[in-house]
Structure formats: C-alpha cells, structure tokens
Structure 1
Amino acid sequence: MEASTTVIRSVDDVLDARAVTTVFQPVVRLDAWHRKRHETVGYEALTRGPAGTPWEQPLALFAAAAERGRLAELDWICRATAYRTAIDAGLPPGLTLFVNAEPAALGVPCPPDLAPAILDAQLRLRVVTEMTERSIGRDPSALLTAAEACRGSGWGVALDDVGVEPACLAVLPFVHPDVVKLDRHLTQHPGGGYAARVVTAVTAYAERSGAAVLAEGVETPEHLSAALGLGANLGQGWLFGRPGPLPPDVGQRHAAVGVPFVAPPANPGGRTPYEIVSARRPTARATKRMLLPISHSLEARALDAGEPPMLLASLQEARHFTPATARRYAAAAESAALVAAVATELPGEPAPGVRGTAIGGDDPLRGEWNVIVAGPHFAGALVARDLADTGADEDRRFTYAVTYDRDLVLDAARALLHRIVPT
C-alpha cells in the first residue's frame, strides 16, 4: 500500500515503499453480452505507479525498474498488491483474477515481506497468470518453465498478446495455456492473411485443448462482432468497462460459468523421444547415410518464417553438431520460436540463436538421434536409436521411426524439452 508520508523522488523510492496500486478491468462472456446479458467471469489486475509521478504508467514504471535491475522485485510487488487488493475487496473464488507476470521473475524468490499475500492468494483466489508472448523471443525457456510452475501450483495460465509474434503459435501446445488472449490489433483490424493464420492456429489449439479464447481491445460494437468472428468466447475492453476499483458488490457476484482450466498434457515421465514414438509406431533399420535426407528435410521445414516452428534435436555427441549443422540451425533460429540441441559436451550456444544442452555420457539420449519440428500446423519427427556399430560414421545403423502424427510429435517434443528446459 502507498503510504501518504512517503516521498517519491525515484523509482527506487517506489519499490522500497511498495508504492503501487491496482485497478481492475472486467472480463466478460461474449456470447452472453451479444445477447444483452452482462456476465462477468473475472477481472484483470492492472498496476499503476504513484499518481502524479513519472512512474504512474506501468510501461514507464517497468522500464525504470529494469534499468535499476529490480524488475523481478517490481513484478512480485505488483502481483502481491493485486492479490491483497482483490482479497480485501471480497473477490469470490467464482470469479477469476487475471494477473500479469514476467516469466523470468517467477524464477526469483519472493521478497519475504510479500510472501504472506502470495500465500493468502493461493488459498483464497482463483488466479490465471498472464505471460506475454513477447517473452518467447527473450527467453522461451523461462516462459515454458514458468507456465509449468504456475500449473503445478494449481493456478491457470494465459498467453497474452497472441498475434504480435508469429513464433508464439508454435509454442502454444507447450505452454498449454488455459486462456489464449488475442492481441487488440487482431480485434480492431481482423482482416488479412496474417490474422487468418493466427486465428486458425489458435482455433485448432482451443479445439484440441478446451482452452478459452479472449479478445482484447473490444471498445465498440464493431469490435465485439469482430471478436466473435475471430472465435473468441471471452472479451475485455472499454465496451465492457474501463479499469477502476472492483465493484462494491463484487463479493456477491458469481459467474454462472467460470473460466475453466484445461487438463495438462501428459508428463513424459523420463521417457525419451525414441521410446515414446517407437511404442506407437513400427520401426525399421537404416544407416545414417539413409536417414540424413529425412533429417535435412525436417530441418528445412524449420525455415518457414511465415509459420515459425520449434526445432529440437538430440545429436548424441557434440562432434555431430558439425559446421554445416550449425549453419542450418542458425538460419532456422533467425525466425523459429526455439531452436535447441542436446548432445554430450555441447556448449550453451553452439550456433547463433541456438540453445545447447550438454548431457552426460550415461544419459539415455546419448544413444539417440532425434530431429523434431513442431509448428502451428506442421509436425514431424525422426527418432532413431544407435545400434552401436563400428566403422565409418555414415555407415552406422539405427533403428528408427518417422511420424507426422501431431499428438505423437508433441509428446516426443515435450520429452526433449524436459531436458532442454529443466523444471
């Protein structure tokens, strides 16, 4: 809470005094609103700095905190303030509280003075943690780890501003959000080929998972019509209410149908991509020379800048990440959502933009060669197990399987991601 005696001369003063406040904007069910029934299912918490200071608006506040190296602390302050304000106002568990979070901040310990508010929220609120798709470009690993941590705590996850970054669409099934928030630009300018690609990918994900789709920036009846046309079932914007205090009667409000949380994807349980795919698909034998064209063909699909995918590979040993491989993977990393490789003695960035993970010589992946590409619509995987032949490298034999079954490819990708993005 902001103390009236606090003198604010710098952003450090704001943070030291925990001098932020929270306003709330309603989230409504669009089909009900379209039928003139106002059904609020939750509220998004929005932070404001001290009024009349240069840090009143959140963008300026967060930018200043980042310059001071205190971004994670500010993130914790904002969330704790939102939780405490909602609890004090009597927000019932039938309504969902949407709260923004920086994925990297979730990996930083909570300041001790804020811990009681966080614990109270876990006991008394139904929270969906919003993470922006822009964090994919900065640190996709932090985004995936944070989403899994939120879900493990029993809270929901929303992916915010979807449609700003094309790479976001490939990450959807791995973040596995309960709510997909369409960026306001799509709501207000719904035409064009790019909007169509976003909508088809989001619709496909929502259909498979049961996730809700929320349109941001609904300010006019025309925007409402556009949001419904985009397939959104929830909405947020000035048409439904501007940010402000929670209503005095919010404790008596209960959503007829709340924001559902989707079932999480199956945990790979320590299995490798080869073990997952070979259990459901027949295998054959071939030499490395025979399998290389398949590998290169899959890797070429990772160059699709229109629908950037994820490219994940396990290459046994670092020596197999050759200069030619490095060039291919670096080219893919220029647009792909994530390009990552696993091998023994592999450096953290074996090529520009490529995330490397070193494994031990006794790791089961040491005996596997896997290339997995998963995009908004395309999914394919080559999984192979080394038969430990001696002789020339390209004559080494593998048992292998190739699959384009999307669900199976995603299961294999999750198994590899658990090595690349430890939790």
Structure 2
Amino acid sequence: MPGLDHNAQTSEPAADDARVFHIHEVIDQRTVTTVFQPLVDLAGGGLIGFEALSRGPAGTSPDRLFAAARKAGREAELDWVCRAAAFRTILATDPDPALTWFVNMEPRASRVPCPPDLAGIIDEARHRLRVVTEVTERSIADDPAGLLTATTGLRAAGWGVALDDVGADAGSLALMPFIHPDVVKLDMQLLHEPDEPHTARVAAAVGAYAEASGAVVLAEGIETARHAATARTMGATIGQGWHYGRPGPLPAHARAGSSLPFIEPPRLSVDTPFTIVSRKRPVTRTTKGRLMPMSRHLEALAGDGTQPPVLLACFQEARHFTPATATRFARIAMHSPLVAALGTGLGTEPAPGVHGTAFGPNDPLVGEWNVIVVGPHLAAALVARDLGDDGPDRERRFDFALTHDRALVLEAARALLPWLAPATSGELVSAAGSAFG
C-alpha cells in the first residue's frame, strides 16, 4: 500500500499503518458482517424489531473499524458498506414488513454518493424495510449541515430517526429539538445510576420532549428484570439489552408483536427569527448600545450550568464579531454541544469550536441581530432588525423583541438550520435521497 512505512523506528506507527492497510481490505472486499439485537415492548414483551450491529473480520468492533477508516479517509464509504451489509442480511430472510430495523449512520455519508455496487440493495431496502436511522449527538456538533441533509432525506423516504446515547453527554439533551427524533435512546449507564441527579435531569428532559412530540423512549443496556422496571420509571416503553437477547444472527420467521410509530417533524420556517418572533411578541425600538447588555446576558446563559445549551447568533457582518466576542464564543464552545455564528464575511470557524456561516449581501439575515439559546430546561431569544441608521455604531437603532417561550424560541432556532447547511431544502432532500440509490 502506498505510504506504508516498513522502516518505522517504533512499533506504534507500524501498527497504525497495518490497521489502515487492513481497513482498505475490509472496505474493498466488503468483509463486514451484521449481528442483530432484539427490541421489545416493555409493557407486553412483544417484539418491536432489531438493531443491526456491524462487525469486521474476526469480530472487530465498529469503533475500531471506523477509527481506522477515519484515519484512512474512507469513513463514509465504510458507513455505506455497513448499512448495505445489514440490509442484505435482513432482506435475505424475507422479513415481516411490520418489524422496525435500527441502523446506525454517519451523517457525513450523505455527502458521498453510494458506491455503485451497493446501490441496488440500498434502494431495495428503501422500498421494503421500515428503518430507524440512529445518529449521535457527536454527529450534530461535528457536522450539523451533514446531519440536516441526512435526516431531511431519510424522512422524505418515510424512515425514522433515533438519537442514540442520550445522557452519555450533557449536550445531547439540548440537541434533541433540532433533530426531533422519533426515538430517544437512553444511555445504558442511566440504568445503573437511577438515583443520581444527572439521571433525574436526563429523564425529566427526555420525558418533556417525548410528551410534547409524541416520540418514543428506548432504554439500552437492560440486563435484568429490575433494570426493565427502572427503565419504565424513566419513561421508556421499549427495551434493549441482554435480558431480551444478545447480539447474534437473525432468528428465523421473526414476527412483530408491537408497532413503533413515527412522528411528524416540524417544518422549517422560511421566515427569519425576527419575523417569527415579532409576529407574536411586542416589538420595542432602541439603540445598539442598549441591546448589547441583553445580548451578553443571553450569551452568559449559554455558558452556565451543567447542561450547556445550544447558542446560535447572527452578527450581520463579520466586523461585529469582534475579538472580544470571538473569545466569549470560543469559551462557550468548549462546553456547548453547538455554537454557531452567522454573518457576511465570516469563515467556517470564526473562533475555535464555533461553526461559522457566511451569507450574501442580499440575504434577509443581513439586517438582523439575533441571539438564540436553547437548552433542556432553558430557551431564550433576542431578535432585532436594523433600521439602517448612519452615525455612531452604538447609536444605530433596532426594533427588537425578547421571548422565553420555548415553542417560539425553537421555531426561531430551527429557522437558522438551513443557513448551517450549504443547500436549499429541496437540495437537501435530493442529496440525502442519493442514499437510497
């Protein structure tokens, strides 16, 4: 393989190169297999479906496979290979169409065309299988545009979305409303720490989201009847774990005993945050100088607490994203699951850890100064529209509105998501639709 250093002075680089060489073989030869773990209805014990779990040669774990593929620059292709292997195995059994299949996906794969030799099996799965695609909070923070592309296309295909490992990272709770998952998967560690304050906070936030959205809560890692009972107290209605079966081959003639509903995701508004909020909240006129303390107050909320929120902000132009602002945002980004700054002339990372998006001079957001904070138990939005005054910067006038209404804040925040993706909503569907052949 090009780049393989046989003269390395230490064993570690050689071992790394050997793993990379091995991952090329795995991907090129499609030597990935799939095992399956059942998902059951906690109330009646009926079979809901299965989660597909990928394995490499000799049972290599998916974590090791994807770490090597990431280093080799072939992570997206490996993701296609794993999903195709799962679908091929499922379809070979002539499955019950009522079964639901949970399959993991890296959102970056939505940016890479499906390999031609896998397109047929992917397309067949689209038409024959009822699939829930699992994503993690890491994928949102790392690639919000890729995640938006992927989930938009998946839902257009009639499939569902699950947010995995909720509770393992503090950021996953704040990110739930942006994915709007059909299924929330509680991290297995919560079952082992049912009396911890962190567990209580996670259960409360997930319960509130599920009640408002109609989403289903699934508990992972159930090993005993006691775990199952604990899971139900946390609001879970579906269970997964060794208590119901270890990962293994698909059982013959598996039939669904219960169904899992998909929910209707909220539509992304074509309006700007100021337009959305000002329709329902009083608008006041003031100067930039008087708005600045309010803006910094909301930024401070984003940097406070054990469950850090998402922070989305519009700065009109890059010159308003000052060095002092960049320092504050970088500090918040160290703990927040997603921090984004939008403005004309801003780069893709205007400060360390901050997602940047530049828009054109005629974009409607150029006239707005917005600061939006969304956490598990916190929501606030300051939205302002520039009146176009000349004169000293601090004396420029804005119309503004402030709201803490969660539904209204979320609507305004979701309206910014298309600006985090380099495509229109129609292109998003098309791009993710390529995932299905």
Letter matched to residue 260 of structure 1: P
CA distance in 2, matches of 1:17, 1:50: 11
1:57-107: CA deviation from partner (whole Å, max 9, x where unpaired): 323322232232222111111101111111111222211000011121222
- Say if 2:245 is the partner of 1:244: no
**1:324-339 to 2 correspondences below 5 Å:** 324-339=324-339
3-state SS in 2 of match to 1:13? helix
- Say if 2:155 is the partner of 1:151: yes
CA distance in 1, matches of 2:392, 2:92: 71
Instruction: Give the corresponding residue for 1:229.
Output: 233
What residue ranges of structure 1 are gaps of 5+ in the alignment? 1-8, 33-37
- Say if 2:265 is the partner of 1:264: yes
3-state SS in 2 of match to 1:409? helix
- Give TM-score scaled by structure 1 length: 0.92
Q: CA deviation at 1:388?
A: 0.8
Letter matched to residue 403 of structure 1: T
Moved more, 108-117 or 69-78: 69-78
Q: CA deviation at 1:16?
A: 1.6
Q: CA deviation at 1:167?
A: 0.9
Over the matched positions of the two proteins, sequence identity in percent amounts to 58
Q: CA deviation at 1:283?
A: 1.0
Letter matched to residue 106 of structure 1: S
Instruction: Give the corresponding residue for 2:12.
Output: none
What residue ranges of structure 2 are gaps of 5+ in the alignment? 1-20, 423-427, 429-437
Moved more, 59-68 or 69-78: 59-68
Letter matched to residue 47 of structure 1: S
Instruction: Give the corresponding residue for 1:369.
Output: 369
Instruction: Give the corresponding residue for 1:411.
Output: 411
CA distance in 2, matches of 1:386, 1:149: 35
- Say if 2:343 is the partner of 1:343: yes
Letter matched to residue 226 of structure 1: T
Correspondence for 1:28 among 10, 25, 40: 40
Letter matched to residue 403 of structure 2: T
Instruction: Give the corresponding residue for 1:42.
Output: 49
Number of aligned positions between the proteins: 403
Give RMSD over aligned pairs. Answer: 1.5
- Give TM-score scaled by structure 2 length: 0.89
**1:15-414 to 2 correspondences below 5 Å:** 15-32=27-44, 38-51=45-58, 56-250=60-254, 253-256=255-258, 258-269=259-270, 271-414=271-414
Q: CA deviation at 1:284?
A: 1.5
Letter matched to residue 388 of structure 1: G
Q: CA deviation at 1:399?
A: 1.1
1:163-195: CA deviation from partner (whole Å, max 9, x where unpaired): 111011111000111000011111222221111
Structure possessing the higher relative contact order (Cα contacts under 8 Å, 6 or more residues apart)? 2
Q: CA deviation at 1:108?
A: 1.4
Runs of 4+ that moved beyond 4 A:
none
Letter matched to residue 300 of structure 1: A
3-state SS in 1 of match to 2:135? strand
Instruction: Give the corresponding residue for 1:11.
Output: 23
Q: CA deviation at 1:282?
A: 2.0
1:398-417: CA deviation from partner (whole Å, max 9, x where unpaired): 11111111010001001112
3-state SS in 1 of match to 2:358? strand
Q: CA deviation at 1:331?
A: 1.3
CA distance in 2, matches of 1:100, 1:27: 15
Moved more, 132-141 or 338-347: 132-141
Check the 8 A contact 1:72/1:102 in 2, yes or no.
yes
1:212-231: CA deviation from partner (whole Å, max 9, x where unpaired): 00000001112112111211
Instruction: Give the corresponding residue for 2:425.
Output: none
CA distance in 1, matches of 2:388, 2:211: 43
3-state SS in 2 of match to 1:300? helix
Q: CA deviation at 1:141?
A: 3.6
Check the 8 A contact 1:371/1:381 in 2, yes or no.
yes
Q: CA deviation at 1:137?
A: 4.2
CA distance in 1, matches of 2:122, 2:192: 35
CA distance in 1, matches of 2:267, 2:64: 40
3-state SS in 2 of match to 1:304? coil
Check the 8 A contact 1:136/1:168 in 2, yes or no.
no
